[in-house]
Amino acid sequence: MSQSLKKWKEFLLDPTFGFRFLVGFSGTCYIDNEYFTDVIYRYSLSEAVEQGFAKSIEYVREDTSDSQDEKFQKIYDNHLQHKNYQYRKVKPLTILVTKDIADCKRLTEDLIAFLADKEGISKEEAEKKVLIVTSANEHQANTRELAHVDRKDNPREWITSVSMLTEGWDVQNVFQIVPHEERAFNSKLLIAQVLGRGLRVPDAYKGEKPEVIVFNHDAWSSRIKHLVDEVMEVEKRVVSYPIEKSANYHFILHHLDYTKTQVIEEYPQTKEYEFGKDPIKLISQAPALERETTYERVVSGDHRTKKTLVKYRMSTIEEVAEAIHYRFASIDLENEGETNYADKYSLDWLKRLIKESLLRVGENENQISEENRQRLYAAFGTLHRSTNQRVRYKITPAAIKKINTTERPQNSAGVGSIRKGFVTVFADEHSLETNDEEALKLLNEIRDDETLPRSAFDFVNNSYLFKTPLNVVLADHKPEREFVRHLIKPENSKAIEAWIKSVDQKFYDIEYSWRKGEHPIRGYFNPDFFIKKGDDILVIEIKGDEEIQDPSLENKGKYRDGKKHFETVNKQQSESHYFFHFLAPKDYDLFFRSLRDGNYATFVSRLDDALDINLE
């Protein structure tokens, strides 16, 4: 394919033929997230949908899936609904998209195993229903099969693929697309390519309004919505990005490279725990539950909630007891007679203990859920072999790295969010000094639109008060809006050199941890604001006033780990000193007074105090 394109380009550019103009057609006019600069006519996907030339799109807005098996069951339920009810005139297809060939192979194997189990068929029969399409040599024949995969006499119902395939497809019967990882669906180019596989309308449904479901992970829904909306040209967006101003408001931030190292600890044999005194702590369980998924329709924003009966893998008491007893026998054999766990904890004894543990949570059936099975296995994890080792991971800060505010990624807000009062656009005269005519036109439209809420647009008449290196600042909730208004007050602006509003991710990521119930969770957050005052940097995370009275465990984790992070930054470099705070609107007046007076080194906000507890 690449050689053919090369030859074609050589032909077009050959001066022998003297072509004066070259005009191309493409449905994916993107390089990553950037639209081609030489487009002379654009027919948007939203127009194509409205005019019936492309399918409508639904994507996952909220989902409760907590395992791949549950997700597969919901995807399968959608597939059956398409096959047996909605689109019976054709053979509906579901496409699952991965980021690379290795992941595509693994996903294909998992899908085949799921289909074999779900439909009670052999692995060989399930394999006939799945077509893997990648650029690997071993899959070249599969790529050729795409030409007739739509036919009803073709057994393929499921296609697994890599997002960046160069081969063009002309498959019309795709009614469900599953981006398996975020990286398979995280740019406008990828979204345009992947959607292009599923937007064609089959001849049998011309004149109707068929839909394609994008079954994404709900954690990506907000980011996907923005990208899909832009690809579809559903709404105009105001974009915030770093610029050079007459006064230089850019500055340097110091970050840490974190190294995760594996540590193997050896420790002496502990005293053996006597089981049987108390039942093992289990949780309530069910062999099947109705689980909900909420879908949102692109363009209209309408949403619907669908319930799917999800079946869970269950084991019997006998199966679990035998597995545990086999482990005991293996340990005894390995320890060459130094232990006698298999005799001490006999198979009958294990069955009685498991049954009693189930009864304690109201379960009197001979069934054990996957989660309870793991709890039972873990309960006997204190029975160690004669040599005891424990592997743990230790995260240690390594070298300091510098980040210039010129590197801050761009972010954007849709006009719909501005119109609803969710976002405020702060701008000054520098915001209007742009060569982007569409961006300038949109800013002027927002500024002059009297139907918008008063909070939609805030123009800073004195640009010397707007000490940020951004073209515009987008404040996406009321506490942020109020904080920015404090920053541009003359008395406060006078006390600082510069400030920048961060983005949600991929600028200054700080790792943090917290516990949700019994489950430890790790994540990353980017502080909302960085304020430069001399050689000091004040780092601010904004929350609502309600957080003072009822602080969440997640924010307590962010405060604890953010505080540790900046303490380490201060120890490992001497160019700047960092002060980290959580602020709520009730804290603003006192915070800015301490900033003006130079007393911020000892400042503690109400929210700092509420979050500063020991979570260990």
Burial of 248 from C-beta contacts in 10 A (0-12 / 13-18 / 19+): exposed
Query: Who wins on pLDDT, 247 or 515?
Result: 247
Residue 552 predicted with pLDDT over 80: yes
pLDDT of residue 615: 47
Q: What is the DSSP string of 335-376?
A: TTTS--HHHHT-HHHHHHHHHHHHHTTT--SS-EEHHHHHHH
Q: Which one-letter DSSP state was computed for residue 505? A: S
**327 three-state secondary structure:** helix
CATH architecture of 6-234: 3-Layer(aba) Sandwich (3.40)
Q: Packing angle between helix 370-379 and helix 347-359, nearest 10 degrees?
A: 120
Among residues 260, 258, 255, the alpha carbon closest in space to that of 526 is found at 255
Confidence at residue 41, expressed as pLDDT on a 0 to 100 scale: 73
Band (71; pLDDT cuts 50, 70, 90): very high
Residue 116 has a pLDDT of 95
Whole-number Å distance between alpha carbons of 100 and 61: 25
Asked if residue 563 lies in contact with residue 580, where contact means CB atoms within 8 angstroms, the answer is yes
Q: CA 171, CA 592: separation in Å to the nearest integer?
A: 60
* Residue 271 pLDDT level (bands cut at 50, 70, 90): very low
97-111, 273-287, 512-526: lowest mean pLDDT where? Answer: 273-287
In 244-287, DSSP assigns E strands to 252-266
- CB of 131 closer than 8 Å to CB of 169: no
Torsion 456-462-464-470 (CA) sign: positive
**Residue 103 to residue 278: CA distance in whole angstroms:** 44
Q: Which residue has the tokens 């600082």?
A: 496
The candidate with the shortest Cα–Cα distance to 175, out of 86, 44, 294, 53, is 86
Look at the alpha carbons of 129, 130, 131, 137 in this order and tell me if their dihedral is positive or negative: negative
User: Residue 509, exposed/middle/buried by CB under 10 A (0-12, 13-18, 19+)?
Assistant: middle
Question: To the nearest whole percent, how much of the chain has pLDDT over 90?
Answer: 43
Quote the mean pLDDT of the chain: 84
Q: Supply the Cα-derived Rg of the chain in whole angstroms.
A: 30
Q: Distance (Å, rounded) from C-alpha 511 to C-alpha 396?
A: 12
Question: Per the structure block, which two tokens stand in for 231?
Answer: 């690809």
Q: Which pLDDT score is estimated for 1?
A: 46
Decide: helix, strand or coil at residue 602. Answer: helix
DSSP 531: E
Q: Which residues of 419-429 are buried (b: 16+ CB within 10 A; e: fewer)?
A: beebbbbbbbe
Q: CB–CB of 256/578 below 8 Å?
A: no
Q: Residue 442 has what pLDDT?
A: 87
Residue 490, pLDDT > 60, answer yes
| Residue 325 contacts residue 342 (beta carbons within 8 Å) | yes
pLDDT of residue 258: 75
β-pairing verdict for 368-369 and 389-404: unpaired
Domain boundaries, the chain: 6-234, 239-256+402-611, 316-387
pLDDT tens, 419-477?
A: 778 889 999 999 888 767 878 888 888 888 888 888 889 999 999 999 999 999 999 88
Q: Does 384 or 355 have the greater pLDDT score?
A: 355
Q: According to DSSP H, which parts of 183-316 are helical?
A: 188-198, 221-232
Helix, strand, coil percentages for the chain (3-state, nearest 5): 40, 25, 35
How are beta strands 30-31 and 34-35 bridged, if at all?
A: antiparallel
What would the two tokens of residue 62 be?
């909220």
pLDDT in tens, 329-375: 888 888 877 888 888 889 999 999 999 999 988 888 999 998 899 98
**pLDDT for 531 beyond 90:** yes
The two three-digit tokens of residue 557, written as one number: 């984790």
Whether residue 114 has pLDDT greater than 90: yes
Q: What average pLDDT score do residues 518-526 get?
A: 81
The residue that leads in pLDDT, 383 or 584, is: 584
pLDDT, greater one: 509 or 181: 509
Quote the longest CA-to-CA distance of the chain.
92
d(CA 72, CA 65): 9
**Region 32-40: what's the mean pLDDT?**
64
pLDDT at 99: 82
Would you say 188 and 32 are in contact if contact means Cβ atoms under 8 Å apart? yes
Rounded Cα–Cα distance for residues 229 and 297 (Å): 11
pLDDT in tens, 290-335: 888 988 887 667 788 899 999 988 999 999 999 999 988 888 888 8
Give the pLDDT confidence score for residue 385 in this predicted structure: 45
Orientation of helix 68-81 relative to helix 101-119, angle to 10°: 70
- State which of 418-432, 507-521, 526-540 shows the largest mean pLDDT: 526-540
Helix (H) / strand (E) element for 77: namely helix 68-81
**pLDDT for the residue 270:** 43
How many angstroms separate the CA atoms of 188 and 194, rounded? 10
Q: Can you tell me which residue has the tokens 């766990």?
A: 341
In terms of average pLDDT, the best of 171-185, 418-432, 470-484 is: 470-484
Locate 172 and state its tokens.
């019309």
Q: Which of 191, 124, 202 is nearest to 163 (CA)?
A: 191
